[in-house]
Amino acid sequence: MANTVNRLYPLPDETKNVRQEIENLQQQVLPMLDNDIHALFLAIADLAPAVHGHGIDEITGLTEALAGKMPAGTTFSLADLTDTDGVDEAPDGYVMVKSGVLWVAQAALAALGPHGHTIEQVSGLGAALDAKAALSVVIRHDTPQGLAAAAQGRARANIGFVTGDRSPIINGDFGNWQRATSVVISAGSNNFAGDRWRILNGTDQPLTALLYTMLTADLVNFPSGVRSALRINFAVAPTSGAVEIQQRIERVDTFAGKKATATGYVYLGGSGTTFQHYLTQVFGSGGSANADQAGAPLVPAASTWAKVQTVLDVPSVSGKTFGSSGEYLAFRQFIEPRAAANYYLTHVSLVEGDATAEVDPFPARNAQQELALCQRYYEKGVGASVYNPTTISTTMSVYTFFMVTKRVTPTCTIASGAIDRTTTTGIRSYQNGVAAGTSYDSATYTADAEI
- For residue 101, give the nearest of 82, 87, 116, 119 by alpha carbon: 82
Q: How many domains does the chain have?
A: 4
Which of 21, 46, 72 finishes a domain? 72
| Distance from C-alpha of 422 to C-alpha of 447, rounded to nearest angstrom | 9
| Distance from C-alpha of 119 to C-alpha of 141, rounded to nearest angstrom | 29
Indicate whether 313 and 199 sit together in one domain: yes
In a domain, 123, yes or no: no
Indicate whether 222 and 104 sit together in one domain: no
Q: Hey, CA dihedral for 269, 270, 272, 277, is it positive or negative?
A: negative
Indicate whether 103 and 222 sit together in one domain: no
Assessment of whether the complete model's pTM goes beyond 0.85: no
Residue 344 in contact with residue 405, Cβ under 8 Å?
Answer: no
Indicate whether 413 and 296 sit together in one domain: no
| Distance from C-alpha of 67 to C-alpha of 55, rounded to nearest angstrom | 16
In a domain, 165, yes or no: no
Indicate whether 275 and 421 sit together in one domain: no
In a domain, 121, yes or no: no
What HEC string does the chain produce?
Answer: CCECCCCCCECCCCCCCHHHHHHHHHHHHHHHHHHHHHHHHHHHCCCCCCCCCCCHHHCCCHHHHHHCCCCCCCCCCHHHCCCEECCCCCCCCEEEEEECCEEEEEEHHHHHCCCCCCHHHCCCHHHHHHCCCCHHHCCCCCCCCCCCHHHHHHHHHHHCCCCCCCCCCCCCCCCCCCCCCEEEECCCCEEECCCCCEEEECCCCCEEEEEEECCHHHHCCCCCCCCEEEEEECCCCCCCCCEEEEEEECCCCCCCCCEEEEEEEEEECCCCCEEEEEEEEECCCCCCCCEEEECCCECCCECCEEEEEEEEECCCCCCCCCCCCCCEEEEEEEEECCCCCEEEEEEEEEEECCCCCCCCCCCCCCHHHHHHHHHCCEEEEECCEEECCCCCCEEEEEEEECCCCCCCCCEEEECCCEEEEECCCEEEEEEEEECCCCEEECCEEEEECCC
Which of 91, 108, 125 finishes a domain? 108
The pLDDT, as a whole number, for residue 260 is 98
Indicate whether 268 and 229 sit together in one domain: yes
| Distance from C-alpha of 8 to C-alpha of 87, rounded to nearest angstrom | 77
In a domain, 114, yes or no: no
Indicate whether 218 and 322 sit together in one domain: yes
| Distance from C-alpha of 60 to C-alpha of 168, rounded to nearest angstrom | 110
User: Which portions of the chain are predicted below pLDDT 50?
Assistant: none
In a domain, 89, yes or no: yes
Indicate whether 348 and 205 sit together in one domain: yes
Indicate whether 87 and 103 sit together in one domain: yes
Indicate whether 191 and 314 sit together in one domain: yes
Render pLDDT for 403-415 as a digit per residue (tens, 0 to 9).
Answer: 999 999 999 999 9
Render pLDDT for 114-129 as a digit per residue (tens, 0 to 9).
Answer: 767 888 888 888 888 7
Indicate whether 315 and 229 sit together in one domain: yes
Indicate whether 310 and 433 sit together in one domain: no
- The boundaries of the domain holding residue 299 are 182-353
In a domain, 365, yes or no: no
| Distance from C-alpha of 127 to C-alpha of 119, rounded to nearest angstrom | 10
Distance from the first to the final alpha carbon of the chain:
136
Can you give the CATH number for the domain in which 348 is found? 2.60.120.260
In a domain, 54, yes or no: yes
In a domain, 177, yes or no: no
